[in-house]
Structure 1
Amino acid sequence: MSFHTKFARSAAVAATLLGLGAFSVASAQDATPEQLAAAQRALEALGITAQFDDILPNQADLVQAQLTQVYPNYHDLIDEVVTDTAISLASRRGDLEQEATQIYANVFTEDELNQLADFYGSDVGKKFIQYGPIAARELSQAGDIWARGIARDLNTQAQEELNKRITAQGGTPVEVPAPTTAPAAQ
């Protein structure tokens, strides 16, 4: 059984038993308990801290791989020790949640946090979280295409107009190669 599978099962049991999702706001500074609760609600709606869920399993995989290279004959024992150690460290995930909550409470007002939680907890907010990055990427690509088209047309039209004016003054026009374009700002 892979470490991820074994760890995921064990961590789920540990999280349930230890109540890792709930934490005390008593140690938080600079924010009211209501503001911290609103921050936690907003973070849950946004799903921002989910990106940290794989840190401990990934680090455990690395440690297990390193130890297995040093002690190749003890793979089963290494698996057991690393899994047990990782599970014992799982409670520290709550510290990261507290830190994230405090950060959001320091940046946003309670009212703003409630608005964020309400919006991102709604169907349209959930859709925005899911599809917003795709739309942003496609918009960036559209901007790049538009920038290349504008650069091409600007160069062509400016070159044609310049040639007309140079010819009107009795000069000899010169063709200048089209400039390369930079991608649109992201």
Structure 2
Amino acid sequence: MKLVSKTLSAAGLALALAAVAAPASAQQKQAAPASAMTSSLPKPGTPAAMTAAREILQMKNVAGMYAGAVPGLVQKTKEALLQANLNYQKDLNEVAVTVAQKFAGREKEIGEGMATIYANEFTEQELKDLATFYKSPLGQKLLATEPRAIGLSMSYMNAWAQNFAEVINGEFRAEMRKRGKEI
């Protein structure tokens, strides 16, 4: 049951990120050099499309989603290395600070990648229209309430999944009882 809940929580997070912004393919290619990451992106749109895409992402506060990406990845890497190298804890802690400082700011690459994706998924005029919409009263309300609506939707989805998983579990048990096997 916990596995189902964790899986659905992860799926819910993915759904929320997709609803708020385009997927950040850079997260899937953490170990790849920057040139390899950018080569998987489409070519940047026109300067005006890129400007409009950046403006939309800024209005949606998308940078908040990946603001801690570099420190988070440094921490995860350090923890993984510590598991295999417990004797190097002090050194790895010190190196983590150095690596985090060296790569500070690299999370901005995610924003640029997302802007490129937006500039390729929407025409320049559509991006300008979206920016205008987000500046309107309804657009401002959407920007203000969408995170809460997505959070509530994810909570509902998780609760539904947990309840439905219990129904499915009960059905498995009933079917197994019919076969003379109690689980």
TM-score by length of 2: 0.49
TM-score by length of 1: 0.48
In our comparison, the structure showing a higher alpha carbon Rg is 1
Higher relative contact order (CA 8 A, sep 6+): 2
